[in-house]
A and B are shown apart, each in its own frame.
Chain A
Amino acid sequence: MKQRSSTFLYSVLSFGFAFLYLPIFVLMAYSFNDSRLATVWGGFSTRWYRALLENQQILDAALLSLNIAAVSATLATILGTLAGLALNRMGRYRGRTLFTGMIAAPLVMPEVITGLSLLLLFVSLQELIGWPSSRGANTITIAHITFSMAYVAVIVQSRLASMDRSLEEAAMDLGGRPFAVTMDITLPLILPAMASGWLLAFTLSLDDLVIASFTAGAGANTLPMVIYSKVRLGVTPEVNALATLIIAVVSMGVLLAGWNMLRQQRAAVEPRSGAT
């Protein structure tokens, strides 16, 4: 009886994982396909990776995407950290729950709506004050900052909430002025959360297609946009190769962020007791 239920559980588990990851593995396998037809196996080859390296359009798009991701992740981390600090520090005031909820709203907002509203904002700003004069990498970066900032704020805020306030009070008691206390105590302690936030913001920006499509102008094409337009003309092994590379980068980012959070959780939960 026991044996049977565990067999059942294992098969459910493997089926679930297969459902999640089999398509990705198939895609990765076909990126090494020698054949031009995406569905026929023609032997192992890395020629599509070479073709990829010679494709200037894709390289430009990849560079642009990385650029936007790095800039927007950095700015989102700064702004999100400030937002998290403010929400955590302003004490109890009327409407605090509302503000906390509002900072998390972009996490559940449909991307189409976020993209559309930002597009409208940029267009009306252009009419009113003439900035941004055209849409492109700048507007995509701003758009990515607005939604990824929410993720950073939530991560930083939860780290601050679990932090012992008396650490800061102790530093102040020992003669640290408020600014010094923030630099000496608060920032070093929330640094892991900020790093996780940055990595998450970076991957989110790299992934995004919908918001970028709305806010990009004629010239700026990010990597997901290029892939999407290519796929509409038919799936080529070149796109498979590109997708494989993106999966590698993104999963690296997610793994790093997860490992980072796990590490700080462990450090918080079990301050290794007993001296050696």
Chain B
Amino acid sequence: MTEPTGESTQTAACTGTPWEDSDTRPFIELRGLSKQFGVFTAVNNVDLEIYQGELFTILGGSGCGKSTLLRMLAGFERPSAGRILIDGVDVSDMPAYDRPVNMMFQSYAVFPHMSVEQNIAYGLKKEGVARSEIESRVSEMLDLVQLKTLARYKPGKLSGGQQQRVALARALVKRPKVLLLDEPLAALDKKLREQTQFELMNIQDKLGTTFVVVTHDQEEAMTLATRIAVMRTGEFVQIGTPSEVYEYPCNHYVADFFGNINIFEATVVNARDGIVTAELEGTGTLVEANHEGPLARGQKIRIGVRPEKLLINRDEPGTAGHTVTRGVVEDLAYYGNRSIYRVRSGSGRVIEVSTQNYQRSAKLLLEWDDEVYLSWDSSCSVVLTE
């Protein structure tokens, strides 16, 4: 495959963690960005820094303001307040057709009356690029998205996945500084999703273009992103790498948004040197957890533990540093590679446990109504104060 020659601003894809390096200049900066529709505030005073070559994902449920944010970046909505800077240039008042940004729409928005080739060439024609250069750049893109054989087809004859690749090529051929992707995988079936996901990541890696992806699908966000911003009611709840937001969620909302989590009500017994000891409500079991930040004795907190962090045993485990609680298997689901158990603990709470079936057995290792011990390493406890 041919590699398009990048502009001076385009370097290799994001390597390392530029967001931790105070010397790196952010590539996209949102400063106090707000958008109001009448009395409704879609985006509320948001600050964000995205670095060159990142594959940044904005994640949130419907109506959280993520699409409005993306549309402001593209230039379809004018911010009510705040500035947008791209590569050091303030683009807040720049119309969409002048911005160094291109977008891949959720509906793909492939022009139905133009062939695949014409679709891809459209942006270059509007830019006034010479005919010969248009030809070579379009053909490069057709190679990149593997649509060479369909170049003269009208989009109506293409499948959903092929139309999406036309939309991607059409946006990328302009060599934008930033590519915006609105729910890029939402309209594809499961198999095609996985394939397209890797294709997107490969293309991003190859071109080094900064990608900003908006999605409501946490799995999509986790697998694609260098960093994720979790958005809710027009504000960012947490911004971090996929493992940060999964393993160290800042509050209950984020913890719950990414997969399942068991939540225990607890009371702080002791908090010192970043280690919290708390008593689980109902059972009196003592839990240890790592937590920075002030906590007072007697304060009510919540302890979260992911299902896969829990160990389930018939016999009492003796490992030190583990929190142990007892319960009865109420329900179980066997998936082949893993099993999920719902265990009713002494306090009456149902705890979900997910285990890898690393032993080979035709019989179930645990049955309904078995008495079991649940345990987890104290480092796996997440303290949630909100």
Contacts and interface: CB of A to CB of B under 8 A. Distances in A.
Instruction: Verify that A and B bind, or say they do not.
Output: yes
Interface of A: 164, 166-167, 169-177, 180, 184-185, 188-189, 267, 271-276
Interface string B142-170: 00000000100101111110100001001
Interface in B64-116: 74-76, 95-98, 101-103, 105-107, 109, 111-113
Nearest to B173: A174
Q: Which 7 A-B pairs have the closest CB atoms?
A: A174-B123, A175-B126, A170-B109, A166-B109, A271-B156, A166-B105, A172-B96
Interface of B: 74-76, 95-98, 101-103, 105-107, 109, 111-113, 122-123, 126-127, 150, 153, 155-160, 162, 167, 170-171, 174
Contacts of A164: 107, 109
B112 A267 contact: yes
Contacts of B102: 173-174
Contacts of B109: 164, 166-167, 169-170
Contact of A167 (B75, B76, B111, B158): B111
Contacts of A180: 126
Among A170, A174, A176, A272, find the residue whose CB has the most chain B CB atoms closer than 10 A.
A174
A170 B102 CA distance: 9
B76 A169 contact: yes
Contact of B112 (A173, A177, A184, A271): A271
B178 to A, nearest CB: 12
Q: Main SS of the interface on chain A?
A: helix
Contacts, number: 78
Given A174-B174, A177-B97, A166 B107 contact: yes
A267 B156 contact: yes
Nearest to A167: B109
Contact of B159 (A166, A169, A189, A274): A274
Contacts of B105: 166, 169-170
Contacts of B112: 167, 189, 267, 271
Given A174-B122, A174-B171, A275-B162, 10 more contacts: A167-B111, A173-B97, A173-B101, A174-B170, A174-B174, A175-B97, A267-B156, A271-B155, A271-B156, A274-B159
B157 A175 contact: no
B113 A175 contact: no
A93 to B, nearest CB: 13
A275 B150 contact: yes
Nearest to B113: A188
A171 B171 CA distance: 10
A11 B41 CA distance: 63
A180 B125 CA distance: 11
B170 A189 contact: no
A21 B106 CA distance: 50
B37 to A, nearest CB: 11
A167 B122 CA distance: 12
A271 B171 CA distance: 22
B180 to A, nearest CB: 9
A267 B112 CA distance: 9
Contacts of A169: 74, 76, 96, 103, 105, 109
Contacts of A174: 97, 102, 122-123, 126, 170-171, 174
A177 B96 CA distance: 9
A241 to B, nearest CB: 43
A275 B106 CA distance: 21
Contacts of A166: 105-107, 109
A176 B127 CA distance: 8
B122 A171 contact: yes
A144 B153 CA distance: 42
A171 B112 CA distance: 12
Nearest to A273: B159
B150 A273 contact: no
A49 B377 CA distance: 101
A116 B337 CA distance: 82
A188 B114 CA distance: 10
Nearest to A164: B107
A67 B305 CA distance: 81
